[in-house]
A and B are shown apart, each in its own frame.
Chain A
Amino acid sequence: MLYRENGQFKTTYRQDQQMLPILQDRIFMALLLLFVFGAGPFIFSDYLFLSILIPFLILALAAIGLNLLVGYCGQISLGHGAFMSVGAYAAYNLALRMPQLNFLVVLILAGLIAALVGLLFGIPSLRIRGLYLAVATLAAQFFMDWTFARVKWFTNYAPSGSVSTATIDIFGWTVDTPVRKYLFLLAVVTVFALVAKNLVRGHMGRAWMAMRDMDVAAEVIGIRPVYAKLTAFGVSSFYVGVAGALWGFVYLGSWEPLAFDINLSLNLLFMIIIGGMGSILGSFFGAFFIVALPILLNQAPEWLGIHMSTAMVSNLEAMIFGSLIIFFLIVEPQGLARLWAIGKEKLRLWPFPH
């Protein structure tokens, strides 16, 4: 009964074009933001921050990035883990070689460098599509893996090839405790999610979606494939690069050469399949799912009093992920975001469904 849009008349196109046209949605979003920013830091435990919320927020950002490319522009990528690594190593080297730079600047620069590399590997998308592009993006994955493992300069000649980062300092505010990391990430991700939402609502987003849905028709109405595809690759890699830098600096702290391998790329892809392709909200759902499921799988047997080996748990995890991917592709290709939308639709009619 509470969730109704009756009586909310739009009198201007501006009102009609709002991000959340329904009043209740706006209230819900405001309360949610108030809760996660205001109450969250006081009531969540460190365990919750470190093993769920921090990875979730960073991966959500990466998933948004991948979703812009795959879900919105329809260009498949199996190599986005590589662009995360570009962001991470770019940030590492920037922070190392120019310590005077503010971390926010480092973050943006790392994103821009990742965007450049993304553009470079996006160029084949102008000539090839679909499956061929999948292989081309895999080339990015393996080439970047190799580059950061073998070219010593990138790891500052560390003998083991692993790197570690300094504590983040933003205008004297150090991001060191779990709560601070959480708040910092929350702020970054909120801003980036809003920007992504703005982009997909604008003419650039429409150009991407047009490219995705029917590329010949898109060109016929004057959308340049070069522009649409390369901006998608660029913006997407920027997001993923920033996420990579955060993954390295905030979540991992130090990492080995193969921390950003193909499994990460595939996991990102799973997030958007499960969460919902072409949905910013879905990127959050998917990231949460992928972060939370392994933890649940690790805990659940204990609660039930069953002992399971780690190998068993990881095999089980693979089986569940695999099945879920197939399930979602068949049953609900638009993922959890679509289920959410259906739920809202039902709520709107409740309690009089007809």
Chain B
Amino acid sequence: MGAGANGGKSIGGVVLGLEGISLAFGGVRALQNVSFDVREHEIRAIIGPNGAGKSSMLNVINGVYHPQEGTVTFNGVKRRDVNTHEAAAQGIARTFQNIALFKGMSVLDNIMTGRNLRMKSGLLAQAIRIGPAEREELQHREAVEQIIDFLEIQAYRRTPVGRLPYGLQKRVDLARALAMEPKLLLLDEPMAGMNVEEKQDMCRFILDVNDQFGTTIVLIEHDMGVVMDISDRVIVLDYGKKIGDGTPDEVRGNQAVIDAYLGVSH
């Protein structure tokens, strides 16, 4: 799998554009005038040292944080601010750096929550259950089962997520996001804390998702090997500023990026 990994895959137009994003918490400036775009069907990585503002960037994209300046254009709709659930309704899904699964629920129920946006049966229908609500439930269960098969977690359907090992929890987190059938998938350090095998599995899943479902992916990752292998383009943040943007090869050769990572005295 060569750099870019875009053998045969067709990258489309811009689906997500960020312009002049600035975000501050009190006096701390997490992001300063950051602009970049994401094209349809590509895997876009965000890298940078700790505290560079990577997670904040994702939080801006799906509306957890609201930037003080700048605009986010998704699917041609330009906005400054968006609610998280609106972002979800527009087709943006997300996994979390520190797994944010619903601990009291089984694997199956966790993934089923990803279908909630698509489930329409009302209070009364659900109260009676027999009839439309049950039909809807079964129909979505089937969609969820496909994702369970895809991510190879059939054995854990009924297990409470809290009891799963870390690597599998990360997989369920991904499954829940996939259940939303997102147009844009944001992955916050999907491989953090994994061993080599788990990382390989996760890489394969990410590439398969990108390939089979045509999902556009933005991911944050610290493992440079992984980033350089699977992403089409990379953006580099440092101290809330964008210092590099381009294909893995371009970024690798960028002096500012090398300085930021190797630590050059300023």
Contact = CB atoms under 8 A, between A and B. Distances in A.
The majority secondary structure among interface residues of chain A is helix
A265 B157 CA distance: 37
A217 B145 contact: no
Contacts of A212: 102, 104
Interface in A177-221: 195, 198-199, 201-204, 206-207, 209-210, 212-214, 216-221
Interface residues of A, number: 30
A312 B87 CA distance: 60
A107 to B, nearest CB: 16
A235 B123 contact: yes
A67 interface: no
Given A203-B115, A207-B116, A209-B109, A216 B100 contact: yes
A221 B121 contact: no
B66 to A, nearest CB: 13
B141 interface: yes
A222 to B, nearest CB: 3
B101 A14 contact: no
A32 B115 CA distance: 36
Contact of B113 (A198, A218, A278): A218
B191 interface: no
Contact of B126 (A14, A198, A209, A219): A198
Contacts of B264: none
A58 B85 CA distance: 38
Given A13-B138, A17-B141, A222 B116 contact: yes
B89 A199 contact: no
Given A198-B129, A203-B126, A222 B101 contact: no
Contacts of A195: 127-128
Contacts of B145: 13
B123 A204 contact: yes
A26 interface: no
B133 A202 contact: yes
Contact of A203 (B96, B102, B103, B119): B119
A240 B180 CA distance: 35
B16 interface: no
Interface string B76-100: 0000000111011100011010001
Interface in B119-143: 119, 121, 123, 126-129, 133-134, 137-138, 141-142
Given A199-B126, A199-B127, A231-B123, A206 B116 contact: yes
Contacts of A297: none
Contact of A202 (B62, B100, B102, B126): B126
Contact of A221 (B64, B83, B105, B113): B113
A202 B103 contact: no
B200 to A, nearest CB: 26
A223 interface: yes
Interface in A15-74: 17
B117 interface: yes
A223 B128 CA distance: 22
A202 B116 contact: no
B177 interface: yes
Nearest to B135: A14
Nearest to B91: A222
Given A13-B138, A204-B126, A206-B116, 7 more contacts: A17-B141, A202-B126, A202-B129, A209-B105, A210-B105, A221-B113, A221-B176
